[in-house]
Structure 1
Amino acid sequence: MGYTGVWVVAALPDAELARFPKADELFVPPVEVEGERAWWEALYERSRAGRGARRLWEDEDADRLGRLIGGWYGETGPAEEFREAVMGWLEEPEPELFFAGVVRKAFPFGALAYGVGPGAVLALPGWFGEFVLTADQLRARLPEFEAVLERSGEERERVLDRVRAWLADLGDAPDYPVEELLDGPLRVARRAAARGWGLVGVAPVY
């Protein structure tokens, strides 16, 4: 059975963020992540060096990372209620203050995570692209977004190549504009900070 993964990053004023269900401790790394970090780092280093399987669906480590990602987005309860509340509010978002990645049979942030690696993912707020930051928190943590997403030169191309491989081999989106997974969220984060707004990220699955 197919599914569509979505990753939304949106700028919101603090007054609007306060209307959503309480998000404290919703989006934190699962306990098992530290136990999985060593093999994820090894997978990342192999992919950087081009020593991974020719097709990711043949790579047991890539499959293991996919299961970890899918398990997180399969969470129900308060996290799902929060996602639904945010998506309901964003029915008519301002284009300049909103990013949405939509991918068949894959999770957009999962592809980005494969591209940038575990160190970068764990440096971002929240977990696997889901977070809630007030205006003050965003100003303090904007450098973290920039460090993870603002890539250039050969390093940017290496990241994009890995993202592209994930979406083509494990998903059904070989033609997705992968640059937007780096540029879109960073653009929205910077505009939110400049406006004095907060930032929210959610990843519903349909």
Structure 2
Amino acid sequence: MGFTSAWAISSHADETVGGLAPHLLPAMEADRAHPDAARRWRAWQREPLPDYRTWYAPDSENVPARVDIASIESFRALTEPGRHLDEVCGGTADPSFHALDDVWEGQSDDSMFISVHSKEYAVSSLFHAIGPRRAAQLPGWCGTFLFTSEEVRDSLPLVERALTFTPAERAAAEAQDWLDYDEREESVLDGPLRVWRAAADQGLGLCGVAMHVC
């Protein structure tokens, strides 16, 4: 079954962050506290997945090659949009609130990073590309967070360590980022750090959400 997903990081004044908090923070915490979340995180930290091109046999999407299919599915479940936040952002939990209108509306290209893909999850590709050690340095939970301007400034060094690469590290990460980009799109390896730095410089907070668009 096909789907389209979006992962976005948007910049907001602290007053707006405060208004978003009652809608988003409980859902974010519920996804993080899911009974399987910590188990899946520990499993991936303990045994990172190898080159994604070895995950499945060449002629089948359902037959594992050198990787236990349970490990692949556990990682995908870890990094796909969490159910609670997905429902909130999509308007299912509360029809009066929707990420498109209440979080992303009015954002400029400079103040926002968004990655939209069919049958793929941007956070999954980013986390696989950078690996569990770097991913563990990223604040929030699997690409989702709601931070005030002070929290953005305080966390910027962590994000810089996680998403700054030597040329060799960059090449290795790009080889494991399986998303397709056109000339107008920004890589998951670039956009988050750009927006984080801009928000810290401008005294803004940040909201990171992942959801199914359709």
- Superposed counterparts of 1:99-110, under 5 Å: 99-110=113-124
Alignment CA distance shift 1:159-1:188 (3 Å): same
Percent identity for Structure 1 against Structure 2: 25
Please say if residues 10 and 208 of structure 2, whose CA atoms lie closer than 8 Å, have aligned partners that are also in contact: yes
Q: Count residues in correspondence.
A: 194
Using the TM superposition, give the Cα deviation of residue 91 of structure 1 relative to its aligned residue in structure 2, in angstroms. 2.5
Using the TM superposition, give the Cα deviation of residue 149 of structure 1 relative to its aligned residue in structure 2, in angstroms. 1.5
Task: Give structure 1 stretches of 5+ with no counterpart.
Answer: 168-173
Q: Which has the higher helix share?
A: 1
Tell me, in whole angstroms, the C-alpha distance in 2 between the residues paired with 1:86 and 1:117: 28
Matched with 1:87 is 100
Using the TM superposition, give the Cα deviation of residue 13 of structure 1 relative to its aligned residue in structure 2, in angstroms. 0.8
Alignment CA distance shift 1:45-1:85 (3 Å): closer
Letter in 2 for 1:99: F
Alignment CA distance shift 1:37-1:21 (3 Å): closer
Letter in 2 for 1:181: V
Please say if residues 86 and 210 of structure 2, whose CA atoms lie closer than 8 Å, have aligned partners that are also in contact: no
Matched with 2:10 is 10
Corresponding residue to 1:134 among 148, 164, 185: 148
Using the TM superposition, give the Cα deviation of residue 74 of structure 1 relative to its aligned residue in structure 2, in angstroms. 4.7
Matched with 2:79 is 69
TM-score of the superposition, structure 1-length normalised? Answer: 0.79
Using the TM superposition, give the Cα deviation of residue 46 of structure 1 relative to its aligned residue in structure 2, in angstroms. 3.4
Using the TM superposition, give the Cα deviation of residue 131 of structure 1 relative to its aligned residue in structure 2, in angstroms. 0.3
Alignment CA distance shift 1:117-1:25 (3 Å): farther
Using the TM superposition, give the Cα deviation of residue 118 of structure 1 relative to its aligned residue in structure 2, in angstroms. 2.3
Please say if residues 20 and 86 of structure 1, whose CA atoms lie closer than 8 Å, have aligned partners that are also in contact: no
Matched with 1:123 is 137
Q: Does 1:185 align with 2:172?
A: no
Letter in 1 for 2:76: G
Letter in 2 for 1:27: M
Using the TM superposition, give the Cα deviation of residue 20 of structure 1 relative to its aligned residue in structure 2, in angstroms. 1.7
Deviations 1:151-174, CA, capped at 9 Å, x for gaps: 23111111111112xx4xxxxxx4
Tell me, in whole angstroms, the C-alpha distance in 1 between the residues paired with 2:13 and 2:211: 21
Corresponding residue to 2:50 among 35, 46, 52: 46
TM-score of the superposition, structure 2-length normalised? Answer: 0.77
